[in-house]
Structure 1
Amino acid sequence: MATFIAIHGAFHGGWCFEPLRPHLAACGHELVAPTLPGMGGVGAAPAEVTLEGWADFVLDLARRARPPVWLCGHSRGGVVISAAAERDPAALAGLIYIAALLLPDGHSVRAHQAANPVPPAFVAAVHADGEQRTLAFDPGAAVGLFYHRSPADAGRAAAARLAAEPMNPLNTPVALSDARFGRVPRHYVECSDDRALPLAEQRAMQAVLPCATVTTLDSDHSPFLYCPAELAGALARIAYPA
């Protein structure tokens, strides 16, 4: 069966995918859900974190995992899995973007945000620390933006665990080529009730970089919390279509 390496989005950690684990295990699949180095200052100094370093970290896991290996990126994690695929496409069976940033060559997260309307509540919730080169997210705003469909207790618990996000990877344009990134099959799992990355924006990115399949979940931005069984089913069907 498949190994799914799930890469979390901004401010999160591998912990956010834990509700998904039993549902994938029930189908015989393995979940690897790391926390990227430098999140919250753990494992690396935030100022030293790079997008390339994150991609290499993910690829090291992929090369040691049981094949076939699928990289799953949530939100900002989409940029990380794209960068990893460019560096070693042969290590991967495919890419799955879960309400994720699917950016074309030469685009960065910050440039994408500058070119697309960002919900005002999101902008107000982000606080920069220029000295530490990190961004922090207001936990009080997180429930309404990230987890509004999820169980209230689970949403509050997740919001309390949000960590500082290193700035450098957000400012780095992702370098992609048709010969490398373009040869890895990519799939999109979109979330129709997403307040952080609205559905229209998810679909605009897919229009630029079409995906082999698109699955729509009636979910907020965090399907691993709101509907983990449905998300696990979507991942399993992508890896092993009927």
Structure 2
Amino acid sequence: MSTYVLIHGGLGGAWCWDKVVPLLEERGHRVVAPDLPGHGRDTTPVSEVTMEAYVNCVCNVLDAQPEPVILVGHSMGGAIITQAAEYRPDRIKTLVYLAAFLPQNGEFTGGIDDTESLLRPNVVMSDDGSYITFRDEILKEACYADCSDEDVARAKSLMCPQATLPNITPVVTTEANFGRVPRVYITTLRDRALSPYVQKQMYTALPCRVISMDTSHSPMFSTPGELVDILVSL
């Protein structure tokens, strides 16, 4: 039995893992999928959502587990698990990046250029600059191209505004801490949110064991069984 901690991405919540959690539990594993601050059922105001708040949330979850965990981050969640690994390397058995940002020391998600992403040109910024959303009409093609209409509608109904500050906050990592945690990158070959080209740039710069899925950005919706097969094989 392993313990999996599943960290959602931008605009998301623990609900992103609703198909994955029961499949992992059916195989006898422990699963924790928290809502990050300002997401899902968490009521933190968007003005108070920072990278530090995200990482503290994850570290608190890690500290509460009886054993080192398999820590999975989707999309923006990759930056969060990267920083958490710097602070808690001994609490993590394996880092898993699922269609995720994998920033190097000093990088931040908003500074990783992806000219093939459909999200970047469709950002809608709040008047005060504190949060972003995306144009509704591109969300399916960008993030959920191979997902059912029902899953897309549910995701849209549960999405929340994404605080901008975490996306402009650099990660600070060292080889002595983050660098010693084993890394796996699950690359999504039909991704229009975080392009396979940029995914490859990141997992080449910080080498990982690489596993490919022929999916869009959200295999936890479209192919949860295949994703769980991969996770339990790690």
C-alpha distance in 1 between matches for 2:100 and 2:146: 18
Aligned amino acid, residue 150 of structure 2: D
Is the 1:11–1:165 contact (alpha carbons within 8 Å) kept by the matching residues of 2? yes
Structure 2 residue aligned with 1:140: 137
CA drift at 1:216: 0.7
Instruction: Spell out the pairing of 1:109-128 with structure 2 (5 A cutoff).
Output: 109-113=109-113, 116-119=114-117, 121-128=118-125
Return closer, same or farther for 1:87/1:130 CA change in 2, 3 Å cut-off. Answer: farther
Q: CA RMSD in A?
A: 1.6
- Gaps of at least 5 residues in structure 1 are none
Structure 1 stretches of at least 4 aligned residues deviating more than 6 Å after TM superposition: none
C-alpha distance in 2 between matches for 1:105 and 1:200: 20
Structure 2 residue aligned with 1:153: 150
Q: Which secondary structure does the structure 2 equivalent of 1:204 belong to? A: helix
C-alpha distance in 2 between matches for 1:215 and 1:31: 21
CA drift at 1:41: 9.5
Structure 1 residue aligned with 2:57: 57
State whether structure 2 residue 217 is matched by structure 1 residue 221: yes
Greater displacement, 81-90 / 36-45: 36-45
Return closer, same or farther for 1:55/1:128 CA change in 2, 3 Å cut-off. Answer: same
Structure 1 residue aligned with 2:164: 167
Is the 1:143–1:159 contact (alpha carbons within 8 Å) kept by the matching residues of 2? no
C-alpha distance in 1 between matches for 2:168 and 2:149: 33
TM-score by length of 1: 0.91
Q: Which secondary structure does the structure 2 equivalent of 1:189 belong to? A: strand
Is the 2:94–2:181 contact (alpha carbons within 8 Å) kept by the matching residues of 1? yes
Is the 1:85–1:180 contact (alpha carbons within 8 Å) kept by the matching residues of 2? yes
Is the 1:50–1:168 contact (alpha carbons within 8 Å) kept by the matching residues of 2? yes
Is the 2:85–2:177 contact (alpha carbons within 8 Å) kept by the matching residues of 1? yes
1:129 alignment partner, one of 122, 126, 129: 126
Deviations 1:125-166 (A, max 9, x none): 321114261111233321111111011221222122211011
Aligned amino acid, residue 167 of structure 1: T
Aligned amino acid, residue 72 of structure 1: V
TM-score by length of 2: 0.94
CA drift at 1:104: 0.3
Aligned amino acid, residue 188 of structure 2: C
Is the 1:11–1:137 contact (alpha carbons within 8 Å) kept by the matching residues of 2? no
- Gaps of at least 5 residues in structure 2 are none
Return closer, same or farther for 1:68/1:27 CA change in 2, 3 Å cut-off. Answer: farther
Structure 2 residue aligned with 1:26: 26
Share of identical aligned residues, percent?
33
Aligned length: 234
Q: Which secondary structure does the structure 1 equivalent of 2:95 belong to? A: strand
Is the 1:109–1:170 contact (alpha carbons within 8 Å) kept by the matching residues of 2? yes
CA drift at 1:31: 1.9
State whether structure 2 residue 228 is matched by structure 1 residue 232: yes
Q: Which secondary structure does the structure 1 equivalent of 2:156 belong to? A: helix
Instruction: Spell out the pairing of 1:168-183 with structure 2 (5 A cutoff).
Output: 168-183=165-180
C-alpha distance in 1 between matches for 2:116 and 2:11: 17
